[in-house]
Chains A and B, each alone.
Chain A
C-alpha cells in the first residue's frame, strides 16, 4: 500500500541552524501539507501546497519557514534559523486532488533544537 515517507526520523540541531525536513508524498497525490505537534499539545497546521505554490499557511508559518517541491517526488520544509520553540514532531501529509480529502500522514520527524 502506498505510504508517505519522511526523513530523517529524528533531527537534533543547534539554535540558529538551518534544517530541512524531507517528505515523499504518495505518488498520485497533488496536495501536500506540513503539520507540527509540540509535545503535549494539539496537532497544528503549518502549510498546504498545490500546483507548485502555497495554497494556505498558518500564522506559525512565518518568514523562517519555506516549502519546496524540488522534483517530482520530494516535498521539503526548511526552517532557516531554528529556535528552541521549533522543537516538535513535524508531520507531512498528502491527499488526492478530488474528494473525500482524507490526508495520509508520514511517520513524522522529531526535531530537537538545543
Chain B
C-alpha cells in the first residue's frame, strides 16, 4: 500500500527566506509523485510532478522538488518565499499502474509567509 507523510502541518517563514516543505512516501512500486497547492477558497493546482525522469523537478512559481529514492523523499523547496506563496501544500503519490491511478495524499502543510 502507498502512503504519504508530510512533516510539519504548519510552516512559517519570512519573506525572502528559503521554503522547505517535507514529504516522505511509501510505495512498493516505482511511484509518481506530485505537489499540489491550494490557495484559500480555491481548488487544487498542480505545482510539479515526478514521473521517473529527472530527479530534480522544477515547477511553477519558482518551486522545485528532488526525488530521493534512498530516502523515500520528495521535499519541496523555493529559494526565496513571497507573500503570495501563503497556501496549503499537499504531497500525493500514485503508482500509475493500469487503471488504478488514485492519488494518495498527505495531510498537507500550511505555509505562512511573514513580512
Contacts and interface: CB of A to CB of B under 8 A. Distances in A.
Q: Do A and B bind each other?
A: yes
Interface of A: 31, 33, 35, 41-45, 48, 50, 55-56, 58, 91, 93, 95, 99-108
B103 A45 contact: yes
Contacts of A58: 102
A65 to B, nearest CB: 15
B49 interface: yes
Contacts of B29: none
Given A42-B106, A42-B107, A95-B101, A104 B51 contact: no
A105 B96 contact: no
Given A58-B102, A101-B96, A43 B49 contact: no
A105 B104 contact: no
Contacts of B84: none
B97 to A, nearest CB: 10
Which range contains the number of B residues in contact with the other chain?
Answer: 20 to 34
A106 B43 contact: yes
Please name the 5 residue pairs, one residue from A and one from B, whose CB atoms are nearest each other, closest first: A100-B51, A55-B99, A107-B43, A105-B44, A45-B102
Could you tell me the dominant secondary structure of chain A's interface residues? strand
Nearest to A33: B102
B105 interface: yes
Nearest to B104: A45
